[in-house]
Structure 1
């Protein structure tokens, strides 16, 4: 066997190996895109009520970026498979650019999550109490009312810092409250009118109030968003390396 023939055979074997490695990567990448989208959609749909209690849109923006990145990942995975088996350098270039764009999107989501992590505590201290006191049960604020009731029941808390915050509520001071001291959603066993008693045996009196509970909840979600972003980004680096190797192994042919 001549040297030229040996080199061509070696190059062909290397190309085939790269093709199958890249195909496997793209399949896993496509599945990962579904996971990224699921995390983003879950954050927005299942926990969308709590987003209305935040003055900043950074938390929601991180989730939207994840959904966008996940959708592009799934499309890119399919394109990557086509580019791999058709061995077209143009498709491989497009595929590489898409991988790079997704990588940058995930870095952006991670940066937003980190920035929001830094300002979260201060934002909650400044805005959650005011939102609950001023907007609860007010006209055109049904989304806030729903979010507050859900927050207090799910996290077993009452008031922003403590149950005494409700003493300054606009709603509590109206006739509509019917003499309640706290909303019914503060009660351990929620029944109509149970908010007339604010004794610890009847309502949730948690140290730190709902601020602490909501902060921990959002921080946990930010960690999930960050972990998913970093994980996919690391996988993408491998994919970009494989793509470059396959691109270089293919002969520049007219297409």
Structure 2
């Protein structure tokens, strides 16, 4: 009877080990996704950082990268603790999961509080971003030594199908526009070609209400929604992982030598 009890208990431990190992694989992959999003944001969208004159975008990318690295390292520790059945390492792993989970909760609460108490400062921040983008376009576009800004503006207008910070009339006071025959840059055209920006007509250029700043805001919001969903998914995974870790630790404690 005793032999049968030990055999059943061993099978339970093995099942817990494989379940926790599977969880760690999923957790590790989730960390990889977060890390990849952070790197992609920093590499592919870094041009926009210089246009916004704000460190928020780059700081967000670095936070994602750091979070991804921490999650991946935690997943590796979890795999080692599970496979080697090291109870002390399981405790360290459980503490790490708990800390990350608490940080996610705190970050979510702070984000909610910040959003709720944002007004009227949100409008002021939004207007400041509009003015910064418009100033950058008007003063730095196609000016000596501002090649990266020029490239970023052209990429922004083509990728988001927009023209100007608020609308195409923002280009009227541009230093470059005043020295050429163009009304808007060629990147404002629906079908870009040399000197296509001479004709300021809705059939030729993008006349998007709200301009490029609105498109940028919509893009950033969509990214935040995606990250929120990923964060909720990771938080759920962590709860499952903590449960499996506690069960495995208890099983190893009770298992006879």
Q: TM-score range by the shorter chain?
A: 0.7 to 0.9
Larger deviation, residues 51-60 vs 159-168: 51-60
Specify the alignment match of 1:232 in structure 2.
234
- Equivalent of residue 49 in structure 1, options 19, 32, 47: 47
Larger deviation, residues 111-120 vs 196-205: 111-120
Specify the alignment match of 1:194 in structure 2.
196
SS in 2 for 1:52: helix
Deviation at 1:165, TM superposition (A): 0.7
CA contact (8 A) 1:39 1:225 kept: no
Structure 2 distance, partners of 1:251, 1:188, is 68
1:222 aligns with 2:224: yes
Specify the alignment match of 1:137 in structure 2.
142
Larger deviation, residues 98-107 vs 202-211: 98-107
Deviation at 1:122, TM superposition (A): 4.2
Could you give the per-residue CA deviations for residues 63-82 of structure 1, whole angstroms, max 9, x where no partner exists? 22222222222232222122
Could you give the per-residue CA deviations for residues 98-149 of structure 1, whole angstroms, max 9, x where no partner exists? 3234435555765787658964744433422222222222344332221111
Deviation at 1:252, TM superposition (A): 9.2
- 5+ unaligned residues in a row in structure 1: which ranges? none
Structure 1 distance, partners of 2:129, 2:139, is 15
Deviation at 1:11, TM superposition (A): 4.1
Structure 1 distance, partners of 2:103, 2:149, is 31
Specify the alignment match of 2:152 in structure 1.
147
Could you give the per-residue CA deviations for residues 9-43 of structure 1, whole angstroms, max 9, x where no partner exists? 55434322221211111111122222222222222
Structure 1 distance, partners of 2:168, 2:135, is 14
Number of equivalences: 248
Structure 1 residues 169 and 252, CA gap change in structure 2 (3 angstroms): farther
Structure 1 residues 88 and 103, CA gap change in structure 2 (3 angstroms): same
- 5+ unaligned residues in a row in structure 2: which ranges? none
Deviation at 1:83, TM superposition (A): 0.6
Specify the alignment match of 2:12 in structure 1.
14
